[in-house]
């Protein structure tokens, strides 16, 4: 099973659609309720960042399976302004939106793997994976 599905994030309602699609795929992979909630929370944070800071982008999901394990990869991509100070946005409690500041460090904690690439003026790509336990 290696199939990719995407939700384009242009308006606030798209965040809900992305959450729902991600939760559905996580359920199909076999994640239990608690991990489904973790995955949905990570998706919300990533989609909200696209909506607030980039204006538009997409969240893609891929159910992945290796010989040893199964999981879900979430890839958030935008062509926004990029993140000028990656170290700062990865600090716990840092928030530019006045939110709770769970932000990207929260996504990193909720998922098992986390990778971020951002170029000023070119956008940001964040890829995170949760493995089935």
Q: Which pLDDT score, from 0 to 100, does residue 1 have?
A: 39
Residue 15 token pair: 């965040």
Q: Which two tokens stand for residue 63?
A: 């159910």
60 pairs with which residues across the strands? 6, 75
Task: Look at residue 110 in the predicted model and tell me its pLDDT.
Answer: 94
- CATH number of the domain encompassing residue 8: 3.30.565.10
pLDDT of res. 95 = 66
Of 119, 13, 36, 18, whose CA–CA distance to 75 is shortest? 18
- Phi-psi region at 127: left, alpha or beta (left = phi > 0; alpha = psi -120 to 50): beta
**Residues 6 or more apart whose Cβ sits within 8 Å of residue 29:** 1, 63, 70, 71, 72, 132
Q: Which domain holds residue 103?
A: 4-131
How many structural domains does the chain have? Answer: 1
Closest by CA to 46, choosing from 15, 6, 87, is: 15
Per residue of the chain (133 residues), give pLDDT as tens.
345 799 999 999 999 999 999 999 999 999 999 999 999 999 999 999 999 999 999 999 999 999 999 999 999 999 999 988 888 888 877 766 655 446 899 999 999 999 999 998 999 999 999 999 9
Quote the tokens at residue 91.
């600090």
């Amino acid at each position: 099973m290696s199939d990719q599905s995407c939700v384009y994030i242009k308006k606030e309602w798209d965040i809900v659609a992305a959450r729902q699609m991600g939760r559905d795929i996580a359920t199909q992979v076999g994640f239990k309720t608690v991990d489904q909630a973790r995955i949905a929370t990570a998706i919300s944070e990533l989609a909200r960042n696209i909506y607030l800071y980039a204006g538009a982008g997409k969240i893609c999901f891929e159910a992945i399976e290796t010989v040893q394990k199964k999981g879900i990869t979430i890839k958030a991509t935008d062509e926004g302004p990029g993140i000028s100070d990656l170290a700062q946005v990865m600090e716990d409690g840092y928030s530019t939106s006045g939110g709770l500041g769970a932000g990207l460090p929260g996504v990193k904690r909720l998922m098992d793997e986390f990778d971020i690439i951002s170029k000023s003026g070119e956008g940001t790509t964040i890829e995170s994976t949760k493995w089935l336990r």
